[in-house]
Amino acid sequence: MYENSREQVAKFINAKESSEIIFTRGTTEAINLAAYSWGLNNLQKDDEVLISLIEHHSNIIPWEITAKLRGFKIKYASVTSEGILDLKDFENKINSKTKIVCLNHVSNVTGIANDIKQLSKFVHEHGAVLLVDGAQSVPHMKVDVQDINVDFLAFSGHKMLGPTGIGVLYVKKALLQKMVPYQGGGEMIKDVTFNSQSQQCTINWNEPPWKFEAGTPNIDGAVGMAAAIKYLEKIGMDNILAHEQSLTKYAVDKMKSLNKISLYGPTDSSKCGIIPFNITGLSSHDVALLCDSYGIAIRSGYHCAQPLHQMLQLQSSVRASFYLYNTTEEIDRFIEVLKELQTL
């Protein structure tokens, strides 16, 4: 069942082979796996990693840690005043020293999607590889790794109706051979032979993907994630995206009519189901707690993207987000609660 789940994930993102699918605990561990197993073994002192300032901390910290271990340099591509990737700055910062570019597909703060297909072409023209944080895209739209031509794609089960503690790192086959495991034990080894003369152990790695899955695997997590994928596919990823975009437009149009609301980022219809905002005179946490009192779950704070908040000069923000199970009636209720909040 575990291997069938891997097959299902591979088909879902149109990977060429199921061996390109490595199960992890989630997106964060997936990016850490790439940073340690690929980064530490392929990046040298003068190399550069290009990351955008829109990233979730999970796509910043693993690179900062490994940069300190290996001595390579990290460059940050800036954002526009709307919180989207500044393409001019991005183009200025990529060069022959850039070995990997790390970008999100969809921002977990603004809901804006990067044009990964276009960016991938550009990154590859410069001889670098591309890692994409797909935590906010894979659950919400059709993602075809061959079409967008990414080298690494990380995503989580719990953001796509699956269980927590399971995620995936997709790695293009050619790169799997350039990675060295950073966790040892369990299924990741074929054999360990003790040589009594040298008093050393000789280790023979297993083949990918098992080579990178140390310890007892999260079998129920993988099976749960595959079941979630089956469910999403039955509904249709295009239908899910259309539903979310329609809900987002519905909510944005209503929120725009409220006096004290500040919306951040572009509010056009291409936006995925995420709306960042603040209410004048109230902290983001007040807004979240008030909504919580009415049974509406939204998030407040930095959303693990503090650099983006710094760039937008925000102390914090509130984030309303939608998925396939949300309805316009729920948005109406949300708007009513926001109206009450304005009276505080």
Report the catalytic residues: 304
**Strands, E, within 91-208: which ranges?**
98-104, 129-133, 152-156, 167-171, 189-195, 200-205
Strand partners, 49: 74, 100
Residue type present at position 36: Y
Nearer to other proteins, 130 or 291 (CB): 291
**Site membership for other proteins, residue 233 (CB under 8 A):** no
Nearer to other proteins, 245 or 278 (CB): 278
Q: Which of 127, 294, 332, 336 binds other proteins (CB under 8 A)?
A: 294
Q: By CB under 8 A, which span of 23-31, 64-72, 144-152, 287-295 interacts with other proteins?
A: 287-295
Closest contact distance (angstroms) between CB of 104 and other proteins is 19
**Site membership for other proteins, residue 336 (CB under 8 A):** no
* Burial environment of residue 315 by CB neighbours within 10 A (0 to 12, 13 to 18, 19 or more): exposed
Length of the chain: 344
Nearer to other proteins, 87 or 337 (CB): 337
**Site membership for other proteins, residue 344 (CB under 8 A):** yes
Under 8 Å between Cβ of 274 and 110:
yes
**Site membership for other proteins, residue 302 (CB under 8 A):** yes
**Site membership for other proteins, residue 309 (CB under 8 A):** yes
Q: By CB under 8 A, which span of 29-37, 132-140, 167-175, 303-311 interacts with other proteins?
A: 303-311
Closest contact distance (angstroms) between CB of 289 and other proteins is 5
**Strands, E, within the chain: which ranges?**
21-24, 48-52, 73-77, 98-104, 129-133, 152-156, 167-171, 189-195, 200-205, 261-263, 274-279, 299-301, 317-321
Nearer to other proteins, 38 or 277 (CB): 277
**Site membership for other proteins, residue 286 (CB under 8 A):** yes
* Beta-carbon count within 10 A of 4 CB: 12
Residue type present at position 108: N
Question: Binding residues for other proteins, per CB under 8 A?
Answer: 283-286, 289-290, 292-294, 300-304, 309, 315-316, 340, 343-344
